[in-house]
Amino acid sequence: MFGWSVRHRTVKAIETGHGKESLTKCALLLGIDPSQSTPRLWKSARDGKDIGLKLIVVDPRRTQTAERADLWLQLRPGTDTALLMA
């Protein structure tokens, strides 16, 4: 199999340290709603928010994840490529 090892491909969590700060300062979630699809990522995003993680959600739908985000980019469907190329 190509790419990252199985260990790295299946984690789907935001990395945090043992103290009161997040190792990841900002997370960009593009077209994913972890509150519905990936419980482990959703828990790590909520825990990260509690210790200072900035969360940016790019999703046309108002989801539970978008409501919790620091910045919610509500793009029209099909315009995410323009955002990523900017």
Q: pLDDT tens digits for 7-58?
A: 555 556 776 666 666 677 888 888 888 889 888 888 888 888 888 889 999 9
Count of other CB atoms within 10 angstroms of residue 49: 17
Q: Is the pTM of this model over 0.85?
A: no
Q: CA gyration radius for the chain?
A: 14
pLDDT at 4: 47
As a whole number of angstroms, the distance between CA 56 and CA 68 comes to 9
As a whole number of angstroms, the distance between CA 46 and CA 67 comes to 12
pLDDT at 10: 54
Cβ 8 vs Cβ 36: under 8 Å: no
For the cut 80, the answer to whether the pLDDT of residue 6 exceeds it is: no
Q: Which of 32, 29, 74, 24 is nearest to 49 (CA)?
A: 24
pLDDT at 17: 64
